[in-house]
Structure 1
Amino acid sequence: MAAEPPDPLNLWLQRQLGQVVVGRTPVGGGCIHQAWRLELAGGGTVFAKTNTAACLPLLEAEAEGLQQLARHAPTGLVIPEPLVWGVEGEQAVLVLGWLDLAGAAGGVVARDGWFRLGHGLAVLHRSSAASAPAQGYGWGADNFIGSAPQTNSWRPDWGVFFAECRLAPQLAWAARRGQPLRGTEELLARLPQWLAGHCCQPALVHGDLWCGNAALLADGRGAIFDPACYWGDREVDLAMAQLFGGFPPAFFEGYGAAWPLEPGAAERVGLYNLYHLLNHANLFGGSYGQRAQASIDAQLA
């Protein structure tokens, strides 16, 4: 019986990593890409994401965001390292360092871990703010929020950036889908004035910090991953961490111990999370549209 031909993806991985892949097991990795645990002949383990070749820009943007986060992350905050990425045949591939995630155990150990994760995020924000780009708020190129495009043109004013590069594209997308929302013109016109008194420094933000994109590791350290990075108000990360739950109070306590939030932060949570509600409405439909409309109504009230 003729031997089966070698897997082209495994051959590509072998060329890129310099090691033979002796095992490839599917693992949970979100709703966009396929995810794999790769066992290497040298005894190591890495994590890989694959998708169609057309999705390479999503993986490239993820790799860039992780690299930038790692530049500013303190020692105790783990950012998975992008190892290789590219296209093999009809597949786009991104290989990352493996994260040994902790189980669901709670107690003092978990509380301490979440406190340190929040503390580490604050240190990352503060370190990056000290070397923020002169252009202000934005990113060097458009990237993605989930699978949706994310506009990143530079703006010197945070309120203008959030109106023009975050909310306006999502509101226009909703209208194109035949689901326009009430009060959008008034919201976009008033938003820069609402944020004019909030003198935030541009900081490197994760951009998509829901509980599925952060975890504790088996050694007690915290990790963040799957970013949608840009230079913005650090409060956007803390706001999204509240949107879907999953972050315990210790996370926010740890953040505040390293860099307390500015006055009025609680009042800005709903405005910042409107961006994510709109994105979810445009991607998934369901009740997110109603929640986005309720948020707009509350902001205008």
Structure 2
Amino acid sequence: MTLERILETAISEATGTPFGPARSSDAGGGCIHQARLFEDEHRRFFVKTNRSDAAALFATEAQALTELVAAATALRIPRPITHGQHGAHAFLVLEYLPLGGRGGPAGYRQLGEQLAALHAVTASEHGWHTDNFIGSTPQPNTWQPSWSAFFRTQRLEHQLDLAQARGAGRRLIERGAKLAAHLDALLGDHHPTPSLLHGDLWGGNADFTRSGEPTIYDPATYYGDRETDLAMSELFGGFPTAFYEGYDAIWPRSDGYAVRRELYQLYHVLNHYNLFGGMYQQQAQRQIDRLLAEIGH
């Protein structure tokens, strides 16, 4: 059976309405999966495909989107339709959103306000009901009551272990381990409420529909410090100032955010080293050195 017929059958079963014959076109974007528009005469869907070993990535992304859709009061988030694996193929079918609208200052301010509202959805502990992925890297999410302990074990030490296996320099690993050991001193009295997070919020994972609705997608969801989403949003170019003004108008960031931003960005820089290598090792080393200097090491 061709991939097209597999998708037609899966969509028909998931929606309860026959779908097809369908035509497919490249949707562009993405460095991990193939993205395409899949449509018949009546309906259109956004589809991600990959080899069968990507099935777990698609399953956890569908779970994250389902949770975000249920929690979001205003943000437009694509609904997962179905996902699965057939032969050599894995797939994820999403609601099609007509993206490409212009945000402008008002739109980005609204995006910030709506993200703050999403972060107001909370849990009793940090983590998530299952492990998932950050990019294609496994992301452990074992529940923990302490944010410092969660970030140490589930985020920083996890990425350092992967970096060591990848061949990172001894200095990065040793200094990174020292930072992990002194994380309580760095975070001080910062004990955030576990907020529902996007988890991978950079400019490439946010957009506006053609009617101007803010939207976010491609999540790596868990419950944790809301500032991790904001820190990631500033890592690769950042969002316009209006986004942060809108967020802070609803829920201002706490004192000490600038230092925590460096720490939270380190997680993503280490992940980029583990995915792509290259200059990210030096960037991570500089961040670790700056963070250790904050606590006199």
- With the shorter chain as reference, the TM-score category is over 0.9
Structure 2 CA distance for aligned equivalents of residues 160 and 36 of structure 1: 40
Residue deviations 1:224-272 (CA, integer Å, cap 9, x gap): 0000011100000000000001411111111111111112112211011
User: What is the TM-score with the length of structure 2 in the denominator?
Assistant: 0.92
1:60 positional shift: 0.6
Structure 2 CA distance for aligned equivalents of residues 198 and 91 of structure 1: 44
- Structure 1, unaligned runs of 5 or more: 1-6
Matches within 5 A, 1:144-223: 144-180=133-169, 181=172, 182-223=174-215
Residue deviations 1:66-97 (CA, integer Å, cap 9, x gap): 1111121112x111000011012210010001
Aligned to 2:93: 95
Q: Helix, strand or coil for the counterpart of 1:123?
A: helix
Q: Are 2:291 and 1:293 equivalent residues in the alignment?
A: no
Q: Helix, strand or coil for the counterpart of 1:78?
A: coil
The amino acid across from 2:32 in the alignment is I
Q: Are 2:3 and 1:9 equivalent residues in the alignment?
A: yes
- The answer to whether the 8 Å contact 2:203/2:239 transfers is yes
- The answer to whether the 8 Å contact 1:38/1:46 transfers is yes
Structure 1 CA distance for aligned equivalents of residues 138 and 230 of structure 2: 22
Identity, % of aligned positions: 47
Aligned to 2:111: 117
Residue deviations 1:120-150 (CA, integer Å, cap 9, x gap): 1100101x12xx1x3x111112110000011
Aligned to 1:245: 237
1:33 positional shift: 0.3
- The answer to whether the 8 Å contact 1:159/1:193 transfers is no
Aligned to 2:69: 70
The amino acid across from 1:52 in the alignment is R
* Two-structure CA RMSD over aligned residues (Å): 1.3
The amino acid across from 1:46 in the alignment is F
Q: Are 2:126 and 1:137 equivalent residues in the alignment?
A: yes
Structure 2 CA distance for aligned equivalents of residues 183 and 65 of structure 1: 33
The amino acid across from 1:173 in the alignment is L
Runs of 4+ in 1 over 6 A off after TM superposition: none
- The answer to whether the 8 Å contact 2:8/2:22 transfers is no
Aligned to 2:27: 27
- The answer to whether the 8 Å contact 1:211/1:244 transfers is yes
The amino acid across from 1:119 in the alignment is E
- The answer to whether the 8 Å contact 1:144/1:228 transfers is yes
Structure 2 CA distance for aligned equivalents of residues 24 and 59 of structure 1: 20
Q: Helix, strand or coil for the counterpart of 2:259?
A: helix
Residue deviations 1:196-236 (CA, integer Å, cap 9, x gap): 40121000111100110011111111100000011100000
- Structure 2, unaligned runs of 5 or more: 13-18
Aligned to 1:58: 57
Task: Indicate how the Cα distance of structure 1 residues 261 and 246 shifts in structure 2: closer, same or farther if over 3 A, else same.
Answer: closer
1:151 positional shift: 1.2
The amino acid across from 2:220 in the alignment is A
- The answer to whether the 8 Å contact 2:157/2:177 transfers is no
Structure 2 CA distance for aligned equivalents of residues 110 and 215 of structure 1: 11
User: What is the TM-score with the length of structure 1 in the denominator?
Assistant: 0.91
Structure 2 CA distance for aligned equivalents of residues 240 and 167 of structure 1: 15
Structure 1 CA distance for aligned equivalents of residues 40 and 185 of structure 2: 55
Aligned to 1:4: none
